[in-house]
Amino acid sequence: MIQITDLRHRLLDIPALTIGEGCTAVIGPNGSGKTTLLELCAGMEAPEAGSIAIGGRRPSEVRIGWVGEFPDRTMLFSRTFDEIASSLRFRHRPCHEVEACVRRTAETLGIAHLLSAPVRTLSGGEKTLVALAAALADRPEVLVLDEVDSHLDVATCRRVHRTLQDCGVACILWCTQDMDAAATADRVLFLENGAVRHCGAPDEVFALLQETCFYPPIWRVCR
């Protein structure tokens, strides 16, 4: 559980917010503070004021899998295998365990054929999948994903969603511009100008957004 109290950081102003377990989709216009909130929850930065606690600990004390909005910029190694293995190797896991875990994660995400490829030769979507595999490999307690789906096609997105459902991570915080995908989350958090405008089950939140383009297109045609 993520507990936010009296948070002020850049444009973010969140007096109190509790994010329970499960999958939370963070949505809102460009520049509304989604990335800032995700970076704080991932422990990439400390808040200027207020606090964020994950199960009573600071985010920097929690094992967090994070995929940023620029996967190109966060790659450390030149070979796909080494990139996915990085967090396991940093924790000195035995070689056979690293090997097995990297292969299993890559297979789940459908990128096993890319393991020996140099990262620079991958497409934008493939780099995102590699970054996601690297975040998942070390069995994080919390997964923070910043628009990982913006470079993925429909079929790949579905595979990623299945992987996330089965990965056993208790808390997933994930921001997206795909409202059809957000509608499948356990909870939707709508940010605007740094403030939480709505938070609740997808049905409740999207009912309030019916007059806007944030209403899921698939609901527009199905309902």
Quick one: which of 16, 154, 170, 207 contacts another protein (CB under 8 A)? Answer: 154
Rounded distance between C-alpha atoms, residue 37 and residue 11, angstroms: 10
Quick one: which of 79, 89, 93, 151 contacts another protein (CB under 8 A)? Answer: 151
Residues 6+ apart with CB under 8 A from 158: none
Residue 135's nearest CA partner among 95, 100, 161, 169 is 169
Residues in contact with another protein, shown as a per-residue x/- string from 109 to 138 under the rule CB under 8 A: ----x---x---xxxxxx--x---------
**Residue 41 CB, nearest approach to another protein (Å):** 17
Residue 22's nearest CA partner among 167, 147, 131, 160 is 167
**Residue 27 CB, nearest approach to another protein (Å):** 9
Quick one: which of 40, 134, 144, 152 contacts another protein (CB under 8 A)? Answer: 152
**Residue 82 CB, nearest approach to another protein (Å):** 18
Retrieve residue 51's tokens.
Answer: 């606090």
109 vs 169 by CB, closer to another protein: 109
Separation in Å, CA 98 to CA 101, 115, 117: 5, 13, 18
Helix (H, G, I), strand (E, B) or coil at 150: helix
From 28-36, 39-47, 84-92, 134-142, give the range in contact with another protein by CB under 8 A.
28-36
- What part of residues 174-203 is at the interface with another protein (CB under 8 A)? 177-180
Q: Does 22 bind another protein (CB under 8 A)?
A: no
Rounded distance between C-alpha atoms, residue 157 and residue 134, angstroms: 17
From 22-30, 49-57, 94-102, 200-208, give the range in contact with another protein by CB under 8 A.
22-30
Rounded distance between C-alpha atoms, residue 130 and residue 124, angstroms: 10
Rounded distance between C-alpha atoms, residue 163 and residue 94, angstroms: 25
Residues in contact with another protein, shown as a per-residue x/- string from 84 to 113 under the rule CB under 8 A: -----------------------------x
Residue 214's nearest CA partner among 172, 182, 173 is 182
Interface residues with another protein (CB under 8 A) are 28-31, 35, 69-70, 72-73, 113, 117, 121-126, 129, 147, 150-157, 177-180, 212-214, 217-218, 220-222
